[in-house]
Structure 1
Amino acid sequence: MDTQTLPYVLPLFVTALATMVLSVSAWRRPASGTVPFALFLAAISIWSCGYALELLSLGLTAKTWWAKFQYVGITALPVLWLIFVLQYTQRTHWLSLWNLFLLALVPGCTLILVWTNEIHGLIWETINLTPTGLLVAFAPNYGLWFWVHTAYSYLLFGLGFVFLVQFLIRSPRLYRSQVGALLIGAFLPWTGNVLYVFGLNPLPGLDLTPFGFALSGLSITWGLFRLRLLDIVPLAYDSVIESMGDGIIILDGQRRIVNINPTALELLDYKIDEVIGQSVYHVLDLSLVHIAIADDKQQTVEITRNQTMSVLDVRRSTIAHSHGVELGVVIVLRDITEQSHTEVALRQAKESAESASRAKGIFLANMSHELRTPLTAIIGYGELLSRDTHITESPIMTNDLHAIQIAGRHLLGLINNVLDLSKIEAGHVELYEELINIPALIDDVVMTVRPLIENNHSTFEIHNRDELGVIRADITKLRQILFNLLSNAAKFTEYGTVSLMIERSLGDDEEWVSFQIADTGVGIPTEQMDQLFEEFIQGDDQIAQKYGGTGLGLTISHRFCQLMGGTITSTSAEGAGSVFTVCLPAKLTNSKVEDTPPHIVTNIL
Structure 2
Amino acid sequence: MQQLEQLLLSEAPDAYVLMDMQGGVVYWNRCAEQIFGYAAQEVLGQHLSDFIVPPERRAEEERVFADTVALGRADCQSIRRRKDGSLLHLSVSNKLLRDERGEPQFVLSCKRDISEATVLRDISLIAASVHGLYDWLPDGIVVVNALDRVVLANRRAGELFGWEVAELTGRAIDVLIPQRFLAMHAQNLADYLSGQAGPASNPTPELCGLKRNGSEFPVDVSLSPLVIEGETFLMIAVRDISDRKRIERDLAEKNRALQEAAQSRDRFLANTSHELRTPLNAILGFTEILLARMGGPLTPEQEQQLQTVHDSAQHLLTLITGLLDVSRLETEDADLIPEDLLCSELIEHAVATLRPAAIKKGLQLDLAPYAGEVRIHTNRRALAQILLNLIGNAIKFTERGQVQVQLRQQHHAAGLTSWIEVSDTGCGISEDDQQRLFRAFTQLDATASRRHEGMGQGLYLSQKLANLMGGAITVQSQVGTGSRFTLCLEEAA
TM-score, normalized by length of structure 2?
0.65
Spell out structure 1 runs of 4+ moving beyond 6 A: 222-226
Q: What residue in structure 1 maps to residue 436 of structure 2?
A: 531
- Say if 2:472 is the partner of 1:567: yes
- Say if 2:224 is the partner of 1:317: yes
Alignment of 1:421-432 (within 5 A): 421-432=326-337
Query: Partners in 2 of 1:226 and 1:237 — Cα distance?
Result: 17
CA 1:274–1:292: 2 relative to 1, 3 Å? farther
Alignment of 1:90-489 (within 5 A): 227-228=121-122, 231-232=125-126, 233-237=128-132, 241-252=134-145, 254-281=147-174, 284-285=177-178, 287=181, 289-290=185-186, 294=191, 295=197, 297-299=200-202, 300-305=206-211, 306=213, 308-320=215-227, 327-388=232-293, 392-395=298-301, 397-465=302-370, 467-489=372-394
Alpha-carbon contact 1:292-1:331 (below 8 Å) kept: no
CA 1:345–1:228: 2 relative to 1, 3 Å? closer
Q: Which amino acid aligns with 2:131?
A: A
Which structure carries more relative contact order (alpha carbon 8 Å, separation 6+)? 1
Alignment of 1:29-40 (within 5 A): none
Query: Partners in 1 of 2:356 and 2:492 — Cα distance?
Result: 32
TM-score, normalized by length of structure 1?
0.54
Alpha-carbon contact 1:519-1:578 (below 8 Å) kept: yes
**Could you say what secondary structure the match of 1:512 adopts?**
strand
Structure 1: gaps spanning 5 or more residues: 1-221, 589-605
Q: Which amino acid aligns with 2:157?
A: A
- Structure showing greater Rg: 1
Offset of 1:586 from its aligned partner? 6.2
Alpha-carbon contact 2:351-2:367 (below 8 Å) kept: no
Per-residue CA shift, 1:453-479, capped at 9, x if unaligned? 223332222213453344443322211
- Larger proportion of strand: 2
**Could you say what secondary structure the match of 2:207 adopts?**
strand
Offset of 1:242 from its aligned partner? 4.2
**Could you say what secondary structure the match of 1:416 adopts?**
helix
Query: Partners in 2 of 1:472 and 1:352 — Cα distance?
Result: 39
Offset of 1:546 from its aligned partner? 0.9
Q: What residue in structure 1 maps to residue 71 of structure 2?
A: none
Q: What residue in structure 2 maps to residue 88 of structure 1?
A: none
Offset of 1:245 from its aligned partner? 3.6
Query: Partners in 1 of 2:141 and 2:350 — Cα distance?
Result: 71
Query: Partners in 2 of 1:310 and 1:223 — Cα distance?
Result: 33
Query: Partners in 2 of 1:422 and 1:224 — Cα distance?
Result: 70
Query: Partners in 2 of 1:259 and 1:587 — Cα distance?
Result: 59
- Segment drifting more, 556-565 vs 257-266: 257-266
Query: Partners in 2 of 1:377 and 1:436 — Cα distance?
Result: 35
CA 1:414–1:227: 2 relative to 1, 3 Å? same
Query: Partners in 1 of 2:145 and 2:215 — Cα distance?
Result: 29
Q: What residue in structure 2 maps to residue 583 of structure 1?
A: 488
Q: Which amino acid aligns with 1:314?
A: V
CA 1:274–1:455: 2 relative to 1, 3 Å? same
CA 1:516–1:378: 2 relative to 1, 3 Å? same
**Could you say what secondary structure the match of 1:516 adopts?**
strand
**Could you say what secondary structure the match of 1:531 adopts?**
coil
| % identical equivalent positions | 29
Structure 2: gaps spanning 5 or more residues: 1-115, 192-196
Offset of 1:355 from its aligned partner? 3.8
CA 1:514–1:293: 2 relative to 1, 3 Å? same
**Could you say what secondary structure the match of 1:421 adopts?**
helix
Per-residue CA shift, 1:420-477, capped at 9, x if unaligned? 1111122343335455344432332112222222233322222134533444433222
Offset of 1:416 from its aligned partner? 0.8
Alpha-carbon contact 1:231-1:253 (below 8 Å) kept: no
Q: What residue in structure 2 maps to residue 598 of structure 1?
A: none
Query: Partners in 2 of 1:284 and 1:457 — Cα distance?
Result: 78
Alpha-carbon contact 1:292-1:316 (below 8 Å) kept: no
